[in-house]
Every structure is written in structure tokens, then in C-alpha cells.
């Protein structure tokens, strides 16, 4: 059998402050709450065709209770369109984030513009634009 990956289905992020993380991912990055299971400490956010799952650090689903927040992944890359680097930087800065510079980087669709920033708990996020023509 050969496994063929089509796209990222979901990413799970441990959250010490789920309310703050939800506000950031929804109000700043444009996700929306899709599903919540409070008894499990699980909040699933729709991010285009994918999901960003927030689990409460130390909660029932946290398999890494000994690790610290912000040390649960390297970064999450979200493909965004349209991609206007200056407008994104202005919005992120206005929202309290500190975005990096827009740089051409390689991604699933080839080289294209992207920028890095951090969420409220120190997880790195890359916002990726369309491939260069």
C-alpha cells in the first residue's frame, strides 16, 4: 500500500489559555468555532478546509502534560488567499501580533510569499500566499 497525502486535515495545539487562543485564531486569523466538547477540553476551529484543534493543557486529551505551552510543534502553516503582505502585516500589528517580513518560501504549491508570527502562547504560525506565477 502507498499512502497518498492530499492535504493537512487538522493540527492539534495545546492551549494553557483556550479563551485567549480562540480569540486570536478567530478574531485575528479568521477561523471560526466549528465544534466544542467542553468535558474533554476540546475546541475545533475551522481554518478553510482544515481544522485547528485546541486542547486544554493538562486536560483529558493532553498526552503531553509534562511539556510546556509553546513547545508542542515547530509551526503551523496556513495557506491564505488573497495574500497582501503589507495589509496582513498592518492587521496583525494592529491586533497585537509581531509579524516578520514577507519572504518568498517554498510550500506545498511551490515558492510564494509568506510571513511568520506567533500566537499568544508562543506557537509559530506561517501565513502562506499563492505560488509565484
In the chain, what are the domains? 10-59+69-128 (3.10.180.10)
Of 13-17, 62-66, 84-88, the one with minimum mean pLDDT is 62-66
Separation of alpha carbons 18 and 23, rounded Å = 9
pLDDT computed for residue 70 by the predictor: 47
Q: Name the grid cell of 24.
A: 486570536
Of residues 74 and 21, which shows the higher confidence score?
21
Mean pLDDT of the residues in the chain: 88
- With a cut of 80, say whether residue 57 has pLDDT above it: yes
pLDDT average, residue stretch 93-97: 93
- Name the pLDDT band for 95 (thresholds 50, 70, 90): very high
pLDDT average, residue stretch 82-89: 92
pLDDT computed for residue 7 by the predictor: 83
pLDDT computed for residue 67 by the predictor: 53
Separation of alpha carbons 131 and 122, rounded Å = 27
* pTM of the predicted structure, to 2 decimals: 0.77
- With a cut of 50, say whether residue 89 has pLDDT above it: yes
Residues 6+ apart with CB under 8 A from 21: 13, 15, 54, 119, 120, 121
Separation of alpha carbons 21 and 34, rounded Å = 15
Model pLDDT for residues 106-132, shown as the tens digit of each residue: 888 889 999 999 999 888 899 999 998
Amino acid at each position: 500500500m502507498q499512502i497518498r497525502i492530499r492535504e493537512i486535515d487538522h493540527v492539534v495545539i495545546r492551549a494553557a489559555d483556550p479563551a485567549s487562543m480562540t480569540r486570536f485564531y478567530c478574531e485575528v486569523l479568521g477561523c471560526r468555532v466549528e465544534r466544542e466538547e467542553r468535558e474533554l477540553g476540546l475546541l475545533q476551529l475551522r481554518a478553510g478546509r482544515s481544522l485547528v484543534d485546541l486542547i486544554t493543557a493538562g486536560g483529558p486529551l493532553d498526552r503531553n502534560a509534562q511539556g510546556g505551552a509553546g513547545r508542542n510543534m515547530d509551526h503551523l502553516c496556513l495557506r491564505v488567499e488573497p495574500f497582501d503582505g503589507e495589509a496582513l502585516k498592518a492587521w496583525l500589528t494592529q491586533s497585537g501580533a509581531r509579524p516578520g517580513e514577507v519572504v518568498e518560501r517554498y510550500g506545498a504549491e511551490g515558492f510564494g510569499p509568506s510571513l511568520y508570527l506567533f500566537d499568544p502562547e508562543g506557537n509559530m504560525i506561517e501565513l502562506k500566499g499563492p505560488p509565484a506565477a
